[in-house]
Amino acid sequence: MKSFGLKLIALVALSACVPGAKNDAQNQQSTNVTLVGAFSGTTGSTNVYFGKETTPLLANSTPGSFRIEIPRELLDRSDDRRLYFYSSNGEAAVTEEILPFEFGEKNIDTLVLESELSMTGTVLTLGLDGINKPVADAEIEVGRNKVKTLADGSYTITMPKNVELPVRLQKTGFVQTRALWMSSDLEENRDFHLYTKLEPTGTISIPTTTRFAATTVPLYLESTPSAAFVRIGSTSFTTAADADATWLDLSKDISLSSETLSQVKLYYQFADKDKKVLGPIQVFSPNNNAVN
């Protein structure tokens, strides 16, 4: 009894020393996502993974209902926000992607684990002679599964049925290719292309998880390797590129003030290391988080 009393006193003292600690914990909890549902279709044990994480959120589970809470910090750092169910018998199922702004409890339809499909194809690149050539030793990743192409550029990879999964294709010396692959319940053959360069216009967007949280908001910029600078303004640019002092260095973190982001539209343009423009002036709308 004394031991219990001492523990209780220690807990009260700790709470008193950290005012608002309980509220902070509750606020953090409220931004998590809890998926509630059930799965069936397997007689084996099942591990449940979030995105590309290596440690399962649920291990050695049997068919039935589940309730899985995903911490906000895990959601924010992941580029694949799906739950992957894999059984010891080689069956799989995947949930729909959790959207960045979702939080709280979310009910999902019952998942049926089935044998994975075997997908095949070839990774190609356009040669200087204008003819497609196979790319050996390229890495192709579909969902959580990852393989490398053979000498003839061919690959074979497994993926769950009837689900949309992210695809990432990469090899040193090529621009990384990203896509989405919607599988059916039939095996198929699909070719992918790697490029040594893309049209260097690039894109800009604003992270939905942080755009309202601070007076300065970091930007997400996507450009080709030749881009070294970007300029952003509330009006179209009239100053010559080589004389413009507003270019921002892409090798550094770039953010905009909330005042700038309150504009209806913003203009932007990329340039190479010599401040030579790489494409036309483009427009994006901060309030819609859209890129044109």
Q: Are residues 121 and 107 in the same domain?
A: no
Do 180 and 208 lie in one domain? The reply is no
C-alpha to C-alpha distance for 241 and 38, rounded to whole angstroms: 58
My answer on whether 210 and 277 are in the same domain is: yes
Structural domain count of the chain: 4
Angstrom distance (rounded) from CA 136 to CA 155: 9
Please report the pLDDT score of residue 221 as a whole number: 72
Q: 175 and 105, same structural domain?
A: no
* Structural domain contains residue 36: yes
Query: What CATH number corresponds to the domain at position 131?
Result: 2.60.40.1120
Instruction: Give the Å distances, CA to CA, from 188 to 81, 122, 158.
Output: 25, 12, 11
Are residue 78 and residue 136 in the same domain, yes or no? no
Residue range(s) defining the domain that contains residue 212: 203-291
Q: Are residues 110 and 124 in the same domain?
A: no
The CA distance from 219 to 252, in Å, is: 11
Domain-embedded: residue 287? yes
Domain boundary among 193, 214, 234: 193
Residues 124, 188: one domain? Answer: yes
Per-residue pLDDT of the chain (292 residues; tens, 9 = 90+): 222 232 322 222 232 334 444 445 444 446 899 999 999 987 889 999 999 999 999 999 889 999 999 998 898 888 899 999 999 998 999 999 998 788 899 999 999 999 999 999 999 987 777 788 999 999 999 999 999 999 999 999 999 999 989 888 888 888 778 888 888 888 888 888 887 765 556 677 666 555 555 566 667 676 666 788 889 888 888 888 888 888 988 888 777 777 777 777 888 888 888 888 877 788 877 765 433 3
**Per-residue pLDDT, 65:** 92
Quick one: DSSP state of residue 21? Answer: H
Residue 127, domain member (yes or no):
yes
Q: Is residue 198 part of a domain?
A: no
User: Does the residue 132 lie in any domain?
Assistant: yes
The dihedral formed by the CA atoms of 239, 241, 244 and 247, expressed in degrees to the nearest 10 = 130
Last residue of one domain, picked from the residues 63, 86, 114: 114
The pLDDT value given to residue 3: 29
| Alpha-carbon gap, residue 56 to 66, rounded angstroms | 14
Rounded Cα distance, 107 and 175, in Å: 38
The pLDDT score that the predictor gives to residue 9 is 27
User: What's residue 66's pLDDT?
Assistant: 93
Together in a domain, 181 and 257: no
Last residue in a domain, options 114, 140, 168: 114
Specify if 277 maps to a domain: yes
| Domain containing residue 71: CATH number | 2.60.40
Check whether residue 105 and residue 81 sit in a common domain.
yes
Regarding whether 142 and 185 lie in a shared domain, the answer is yes
Task: Mark whether 46 and 123 lie in a shared domain.
Answer: no
Please indicate, yes or no, if residue 221 is contained in any of the structural domains: yes
| CB environment 252-267: b (16+ within 10 A), e (fewer) | eeeebeeeebeeeebb
pLDDT for the residue 21: 46
| 285/208 same-domain check | yes
